[in-house]
Structure 1
Amino acid sequence: MGVSRSTYYFQETHEPKPRVYRGGRPIPGYSLARDGRKVSDEQIKEWLMEEVEADGFGYGYVKLMVQLRRHHGVIINKKKVYRLCKELGILKPQRPLHRHYPRKLARNRDITAPNQLWEVDLKYGYIHGEDKFFFILSYIDVFDREIVGYYIGLRCEAKDAVMTLKSALWKRKLLTGGQAMPVIRSDNGPQFISNVFEEACEELKIEHERIPPKTPNMNAHIESFHRLLEDDRLSSCELETYAEAYETVDKYMRWYNNERIHSSVHYLSPAEFHREHVKNGLMTTKPIRV
């Protein structure tokens, strides 16, 4: 059983000692004032009732503590004020806690053509020469694996995510109207849960869905691309300036789209596979379940 001999026989020959709960420190029943005199809890309760009646439940127990210290010179902490208010039944009702869940959770989809589902995510890069980070925001088409839009900058806000999205839609000729817009899938980063991004999606008539927390596998394609970017480029060189970082990432993006062959798209580059599919309609893959 994996129990040592001494432990086994100790349990056989020794009676366990019962644990006795001794309780916490007894309640003293008073508090000290700044001049050293003792102020009973009953007196403090009267002062609390006066404060409550005067302000009409305007203060919680923390502010009542401040009032006791200020008006009566009592040395008291918020925990004791909370206990006394609870005994008096005058605790101010707390605001209900509203849990924030994604407005629309990502659901399972079968992707059979371009521009059906785009995944977006943010990645950090490090500039050694300037000791600072920079941001890379990328949109990937799940069907053909092409990076349809990307942003590189020293900061990344919701407006940058919107700008990059519009640029990607223009590149795919989806802003002219008459074509179905892609579904945008993201995590719960601040850029994507902002009102700016949500309003832009509503304006463009785009469905935006967010993955549940701690489920990066539901955004696997963009996560995989950023891992490639890290392994192939960012981790293999020390960037000295932001200009060098921008040029390096931009060059990699163009190489990935136009030259790097991908096993999931018949060993073609993403851009080549997309062109062949749009031109001939013959280049296709198995439905992608995401």
Structure 2
Amino acid sequence: MFADKVAIAHKWITAGHSVTFVLRIVGVSRSTYYYQLTHEPKPRTTSGGRPATQYTYTHDGSKVSDEQVKEWIMNAVAGDGFAYGYLKLTYVLKREYQLVINKKKVYRLCKELGILKQQRQIKSKYPRRLARNRDIMAPNQLWEVDIKYGYVHGEDRFFFVRSYIDVFDRQTADYHIGLHCEATEAVDTLKRALWKRRLLDQSVLPVIRSDNGPQFVSLAFESTCEQLGIEHERIPPRTPNMNAHIESFHRLLEDDCLSRYEFESYELAYKAVVDFMDYYNNRRLHSSLHYLPPEFNKQHYETGLTPKTNVKESLRLR
């Protein structure tokens, strides 16, 4: 780098320009300039750095060939170190064979042996937005989501019910019943709920509030919320009161449906949950909604009717 700058400076200085002016322009000191002119650079004998040795020392000063070190590495990989990377293998060599060796050399030896483990893919992380107090004055402003477990006695297995509930009108925007509980299903249910409420093409979408379950902290769910322009907030650990409406709904699901029957098959459990959802959304009287079932939304848009309870107070951290 300095040699290139000195060569440029020398070209302009020999052309008659001021030494001080040229050196200030190229950023080279006067002493460096004259040193480079009077000293020939030494040719490099290697490609860079010290040449690699073919042996390693032990703590008592003995030399161990790299071929022996490679054999020890393979023995470790064939035994308890089958899942170790080069860093842990370095500690194995130090402790079991008293080698004076660093991780860089072990990396090189592992690379020569072709046993380097693939690096883990770093997943995108999304900032966690904590749930906060909100004034809920209309439908589709805040949805709460959670998962409820049911049991099929006749088949001795569990099934899952994932529900999105609108905090304002207490209706389930949509739900999913299945034998698996994966992030992709949470995404599909969310999109279906938005489609049912004709919100997919709207600029303002509901805030989604959830706990810290693996489905809701997953890359699939977070990236979908980001793509749709949805704000996803998560309640702090051990604060189910901040998801009070979905917790209350799932208690009703447990008391009025899941605990009433001993299901002999998954099909019977599925039908019972579907029937309960239809009853809850379309016929059940809600005391907080002036004992109105689906007519509540109609009267809200016509007359401005709001729930009897103070939604803001019910969402306050306790």
TM-score, length of structure 1 as denominator length: 0.67
Given that residues 102 and 210 in structure 1 are in contact (C-alpha distance below 8 angstroms), is that contact kept between their aligned partners in structure 2?
no
Letter paired with 1:253: M
Rate the CA distance shift 1:182–1:202 in 2: closer, same or farther, 3 A: same
Amino acid in structure 2 at the alignment position of 1:266: H
CA distance in structure 1 between the aligned counterparts of 2:264 and 2:93, rounded to whole angstroms: 53
Encode CA deviations 1:32-86: one digit per residue, 9 max, x unaligned.
xxxxxxxxxxxxx9279999xx99xx645x86346644x48xxxxxxxxxxxxxx
2:284 equivalent to 1:284: no
Q: Which residue identity lines up with residue 282 of structure 2 in the other structure?
A: N
> Which residue number in structure 2 is paired with residue 207 of structure 1?
231
Correspondence 1:194 to 2:218: yes
After TM superposition, where is structure 1 displaced by more than 3 Å over at least 4 residues in a row?
A: 47-51, 65-69
Alignment gaps of 5+ in structure 2: 1-57, 71-85, 99-124
What amino acid maps onto 1:124 in structure 2? Y
Query: Relative contact order (C-alpha < 8 Å, sep 6+): which is higher?
Result: 1
Q: Does residue 1:46 correspond to 2:59, yes or no?
A: yes
Secondary structure of residue in 2 paired with 1:185: strand
Match of 2:128 among 96, 103, 115: 103
Query: Within the alignment, does 1:137 sit opposite 2:159 as a pair?
Result: no
How far apart in 2 are the matches of 1:274 and 1:47? 84
Per-residue deviation, 1:170:
1.1
2:296 is aligned to 273
**Aligned residues of 1:112 and 1:287 also touching (Cα < 8 A):** no
Q: Residue 230 and residue 50 in structure 1: after superposition, are their counterparts in 2 closer, same or farther (change >3 A)?
A: farther
Q: How far off is 1:175 after superposition?
A: 1.3
Call closer, same or farther: CA 1:65–1:247 in 2, change over 3 Å: same
Q: 1:165 aligns with which of 190, 197, 209?
A: 190
RMSD: 2.9
Aligned to 1:250: 274
Richer in helix (by share): 2
- Residue identity matched to 1:163: D
CA gap of 1:171–1:59, structure 2 versus 1, over 3 A, is: closer
- C-alpha distance 67-210 of structure 1, shift in aligned 2 (>3 A): same
TM-score by length of 2: 0.61
In 2, distance between residues paired with 1:142 and 1:204? 20
Q: Do the aligned partners of 2:141 and 2:205 also contact (CA within 8 Å) in 1? A: yes
2:174 is equivalent to residue 149 of structure 1? yes
Question: Displacement, 1:204?
Answer: 1.0
Determine if contact 1:161/1:191 at 8 Å carries over to the other structure. Answer: yes
Change (3 A) 1:284 1:128: same
Closer, same or farther in 2 for the Cα pair 1:223/1:49, shift >3 Å?
farther
Query: C-alpha distance in 1, partners of 2:295/2:267?
Result: 29
Match status 1:126 vs 2:151? yes
Structure 1 residue 117 displacement after superposition: 0.4
Q: Secondary structure at the match of 1:110?
A: coil
Letter in 2 for 1:220: A
Match of 1:79 in 2: none
Q: Measure how far apart 1:101 and its partner are.
A: 10
SS of equivalent residue, structure 2 residue 162: strand
Q: Distance in 1 between matches of 2:227 and 2:311?
A: 28
Report the counterpart of residue 258 of structure 2 in structure 1: 234
Deviation at 1:163, TM superposition (A): 0.8
The Cα shift of 1:177 comes to 2.5
How many residue pairs end up in the alignment?
A: 213
8 Å Cα contact 1:111/1:287 also seen in 2: no
Tell me the distance in 2 between the aligned counterparts of 1:134 and 1:47: 63
2:128 corresponds to which letter in structure 1? R
Which ranges in structure 1 are unaligned for 5 or more consecutive residues? 1-44, 73-99
1:281 Cα shift? 3.7
CA contact (8 A) 2:126 2:222 kept: no
